[in-house]
């Protein structure tokens, strides 16, 4: 039979102090978030530094037109005039906008509290500017609402998925192009 280990050979004690799982996870999450912030900032700076005079006016107008989901409501109004199924799609889209807008603007922004980008420091040209919102940057209410509308309408009317999805992507990009959001918002 073997003898019990002496104090120097105690096999029940680890050789190193383990990192508690929560601390290790917190460190990894912090490192990953730091890397994502760096990529986000670099993408924002790249968009700001890229001259696109032919797109500036159109994207500024798109961003402004997407305020308060005006584009989605206009499309929903048109769909409502086209029969029962498009009317159901319109109702689903408007409902999705309500949920997404409330989630992003009343909950998400208050929880995350991400500061808006500094478009002056990034030298976003004045031709791109829309009014800088006073709310937090993340998540983008414009993008969340546009994606929710496209998804809900596309579920009922699959043929609308691609054009509405493309429009939602354009709305999201317009918010970055005008300097009021980071790409990750």
Residue 7 has pLDDT above 60, yes or no: no
Strongest mean pLDDT among 1-5, 8-12, 88-92: 88-92
Percent of the chain with pLDDT over 70: 88
Percent of the chain with pLDDT over 90: 80
Residue 132 to residues 79, 81, 111, 125: CA-CA distances in angstroms? 32, 35, 20, 14
CA 23 to chain centre: 27
This model's pTM is above 0.75: yes
> CA–CA separation, 70 vs 160, rounded Å?
18
Residue 15 has pLDDT above 80, yes or no: no
Mean pLDDT of 83-103: 98
What is the per-residue pLDDT for 2?
A: 55
Residue 132 has pLDDT above 80, yes or no: yes
> CA–CA separation, 131 vs 67, rounded Å?
11
Contact 128, 56 (CB under 8 A): yes
Residue 154 to residues 24, 72, 99, 119: CA-CA distances in angstroms? 41, 13, 17, 34
């Amino acid at each position: 039979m073997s003898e019990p280990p002496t104090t120097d050979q105690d096999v029940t004690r680890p050789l190193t102090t383990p990192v508690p799982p929560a601390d290790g996870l917190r460190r990894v999450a912090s490192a990953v978030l730091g890397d994502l912030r760096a990529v986000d900032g670099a993408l924002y700076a790249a968009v700001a530094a890229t001259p696109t005079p032919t797109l500036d006016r159109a994207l500024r107008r798109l961003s402004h037109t997407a305020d308060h989901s005006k584009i989605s409501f206009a499309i929903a109004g048109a769909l409502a005039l086209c029969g029962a199924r498009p009317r159901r799609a319109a109702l689903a889209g408007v409902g999705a906008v309500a949920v997404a807008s409330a989630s992003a603007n009343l909950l998400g922004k208050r929880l995350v509290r991400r500061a808006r980008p500094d478009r002056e420091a990034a030298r976003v040209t004045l031709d791109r500017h829309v009014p800088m919102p006073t709310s937090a940057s993340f998540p983008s209410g414009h993008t969340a609402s546009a994606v929710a509308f496209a998804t809900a309408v596309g579920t009922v009317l699959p043929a609308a998925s691609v054009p509405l999805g493309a429009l939602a992507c354009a709305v999201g990009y317009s918010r970055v192009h005008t300097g009021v959001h980071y790409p990750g918002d």
